Amino acid sequence: MTISTPTSTFAGLPVQQYTTGSDTPPDPAATAWKIATDWERGDDGFVDDLLSLAGQPWAGQITTLVFGCWTEASDPLPADTVVPLLAAFPAVRHLFVGDMTFEESEISWIDWGDLGAVLDVFPRLETLQLRGGSSTTINEPVPFTAPALPLLRSLTVESGGLQQTYLEALLAIDAPELTDLELWLGVDNYGAITDLEPLADLLAGNRFPAMTHLGLRNSDLADRIAAALAQAPVLQRITTLDLSNGTLTDTGADALAAAGLGAVRTLILDHHFVSDETLTRLRAAHPHIEISAADRQEPETYNDEVYLYTAVSE
């Protein structure tokens, strides 16, 4: 699976790209404003358009921002230039950083740069979506101290290999109202964690006390995650559990079948490697849970080695 289509709606609003000279909208708060450059406009296009938008008399009414392609693939978001301009948007409650298709940048090359500096500008965020966060051969992740986001209700991180530096910082965000958490963990070839220790506090129920939706998606550790979740205290308050787009096999599904699964009422396993027989056992073990298990995958074999692939990596 590749991300081939730009986001058309975000936080319930239609996405519209702003370019210098755009008409004044009748209601600036009714649109998710996207800032992005392209190959023809080059590196300056993003900053030029953001500068123009920040200078509009209605900039203070904008509630939703989307950052698309900012420079060439793998270049970090130019925080030194961007962050001072963000003060022009005090009403922003919803932010998406990294809305790029594979034609603009592979997901593993999207570099957030100094993400912490961006988040510090928006302490009243309610929705935060990030795309990227994988390792590259060019840039090291920029560590940041987790901000307090007391109004944040939804956090989504889409990655082909979410680096531990980012994962730990994001999980440490002080967000007592967060209800929906979705993490695309990815694969170790692109920087993802190789054990579950960074998730220990989350699975123990020590993070995000209001959370009811948990997605640990697109992971090559899907079986180990399933086994860990089988006895995890966090499931006592999670009603929707999403393990889709990963490499879940019969091993992980059997662990789920043997578990109580607490408060879970919806289990999403789409894009998986689980046999029909095991899915039948899983459904019989949890007749009260709605289980979605579409898009079964087949392992691939090369030189007698068996390979299982997540939906998104590079």
Last residue of a domain, one of 131, 163, 193: 131
Across 256-267, average pLDDT: 97
Torsion region of 112: left, alpha or beta (phi above 0 gives left; psi -120 to 50 gives alpha): alpha
Residues 114 and 23 in one domain: yes
Looking at per-residue pLDDT, the higher value among 219 and 113 belongs to 219
Residue pLDDT, tens place only, 38-47: 877 877 899 9
Is residue 139, in this structure, part of any structural domain at all? no
Residue pLDDT, tens place only, 49-91: 999 999 999 999 999 999 999 987 678 999 999 999 999 999 9
Between CA 98 and CA 81 the distance in angstroms is 17
Quick one: CA dihedral 163, 137, 77, 245, positive or negative? negative
Between CA 251 and CA 226 the distance in angstroms is 9
Domain containing 95 — which CATH number? 3.80.10.10
Count of structural domains within the chain: 2
Instruction: Report the percent of the chain where pLDDT is more than 70.
Output: 98
Is residue 251, in this structure, part of any structural domain at all? yes
Contact between 137 and 291 (Cβ < 8 Å): no
Residue pLDDT, tens place only, 154-206: 999 999 999 999 999 999 999 999 999 999 999 999 999 999 999 999 999 99
Residues 185 and 124 in one domain: no
Is residue 146, in this structure, part of any structural domain at all? no
Last residue of a domain, one of 131, 162, 196: 131
Between CA 80 and CA 35 the distance in angstroms is 17
Residues 195 and 111 in one domain: no
What is the residue-averaged pLDDT of the chain? Answer: 94
Residues 116 and 189 in one domain: no
Across 276-292, average pLDDT: 98
Using CA atoms, how far residue 233 sits from 105, 156, 204, 213, 243, in Å, is 38, 22, 5, 14, 17
Q: For residue 1, what pLDDT is reported?
A: 66
Residues 188 and 303 in one domain: yes
Residues 88 and 191 in one domain: no
Contact between 81 and 113 (Cβ < 8 Å): no
Q: For residue 44, what pLDDT is reported?
A: 87
Q: Please name the amino acid found at residue 174.
A: D
Last residue of a domain, one of 99, 131, 163: 131
Residues 196 and 119 in one domain: no
pLDDT band at 267 (very low <50, low <70, confident <90, very high): very high
Torsion of CA 70, 76, 77, 83, to 10 degrees: -150
Point out which residues pair with 76 in neighbouring strands.
111
Predicted TM-score (pTM) of this structure:
0.96
Q: For residue 22, what pLDDT is reported?
A: 85
Q: For residue 41, what pLDDT is reported?
A: 82
Q: For residue 89, what pLDDT is reported?
A: 99
Between CA 312 and CA 314 the distance in angstroms is 7
Q: Residue count of the chain, please give it.
A: 314
* Residue 287, pLDDT above cutoff 90: yes
Per the structure, the complete domain to which residue 107 belongs is given by 1-131
Point out which residues pair with 307 in neighbouring strands.
300
Q: For residue 143, what pLDDT is reported?
A: 82
Residues 49 and 125 in one domain: yes
Tokens of 283: 């459904």
- Full DSSP string of 184-233: EEE-GGGT--SSSGGGHHHHTT-S-TT--EEEEEEETTHHHHHHHHTT-G
Across 105-111, average pLDDT: 89
Residues 125 and 244 in one domain: no
* Residue 137, pLDDT above cutoff 70: no
Residues 101 and 216 in one domain: no
